[in-house]
């Protein structure tokens, strides 16, 4: 899944030199912007906000930016010009495929409020705010050097009683209905009609204006989003029941409480 991909890419192993993995030409387009993706990670305490920064082209997968974070009543992020090459680049790619340098900065569980924000990178400084409410994270910056991926600068917070997922291999309408009927025993209702339209986080889902939801993940087109308070053991039992009854039609679940079953 996308958020899992980000997590893997952000694990930086013992460091080599930048020169060992730099492309022969300049890895940066002088006019290239620093790209920002808003990510939220759910856990038992609620939603955490992460900013993922990307820039450049390298013939390595695991190139990180060095940074300094100061947080409190305001948030100041200084991203340095030195690029750190992880262990995966001892053998640089030879296929011509390139990857940006990436750095994910976890801002943690922010209390509701408005936080002045300053981000500096390679002589460019953007100022703005991070607005946190019970419903959203909203980030603004006043410098065009900083670009939000897909123009997404606001994330709706994933409710703690949300569960979502899909099927790994196959499903059909009857199996989808049986899964829903089983979850309804625990009080499940379909969540998309109850939530505001918008994006709920890279790797999670989005909801359209007509209250259809799109799972930002792999799947078979039989994806689901429900409102229900349920524990991981019960979800595991439901998963095993469906999989055994329908010969490998195996659902996976993610939850607003942060635990996952089968994903």
pLDDT of amino acid 1 = 41
d(CA 216, CA 260): 15
pLDDT of amino acid 28 = 55
Q: How confident is the model at residue 218 (pLDDT cuts 50, 70, 90)?
A: low
- Over range 119-128, report the average pLDDT: 94
Q: How confident is the model at residue 92 (pLDDT cuts 50, 70, 90)?
A: low
d(CA 263, CA 251): 9
pLDDT of 165 strictly over 90: yes
Contact by Cβ (8 Å): 206, 200? yes
- Over range 140-169, report the average pLDDT: 92
Give me 171's structure tokens. Answer: 């499903």
d(CA 23, CA 25): 5
Residue 204 — φ and ψ, nearest 5°?
-110, -105
């Amino acid at each position: 899944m996308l958020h899992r991909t980000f997590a893997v890419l952000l694990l930086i192993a013992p460091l080599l030199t930048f020169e060992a993995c730099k492309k022969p030409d300049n890895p940066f387009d002088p006019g290239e912007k620093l790209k920002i993706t808003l990510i939220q990670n759910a856990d038992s305490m609620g939603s955490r906000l992460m900013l993922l920064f990307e820039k450049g082209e390298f013939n390595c997968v695991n190139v990180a930016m060095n940074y300094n974070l100061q947080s409190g009543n305001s948030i100041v992020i200084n991203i340095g010009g030195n690029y750190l090459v992880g262990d995966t680049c001892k053998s640089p790619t030879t296929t011509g495929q390139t990857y940006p340098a990436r750095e994910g900065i976890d801002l943690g569980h922010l209390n509701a409020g408005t936080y002045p924000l300053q981000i500096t990178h390679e002589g460019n400084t953007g100022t703005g705010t991070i607005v946190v409410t019970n419903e959203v994270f909203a980030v603004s910056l006043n410098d065009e050097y900083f670009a939000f991926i897909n123009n997404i600068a606001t994330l709706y917070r994933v409710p703690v009683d949300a569960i979502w997922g899909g099927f790994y291999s196959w499903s059909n309408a009857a199996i989808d209905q049986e899964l829903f009927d089983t979850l309804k025993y625990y009080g499940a209702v379909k969540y998309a009609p109850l939530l505001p339209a918008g994006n709920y986080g890279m790797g999670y889902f989005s909801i359209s204006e007509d209250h259809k939801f799109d799972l930002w993940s792999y799947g078979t087109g039989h994806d689901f989003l429900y409102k229900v308070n349920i524990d991981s053991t019960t979800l595991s039992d439901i998963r095993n029941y469906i999989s055994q009854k329908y010969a490998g039609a195996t659902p996976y679940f993610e939850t607003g409480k942060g635990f996952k079953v089968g994903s």
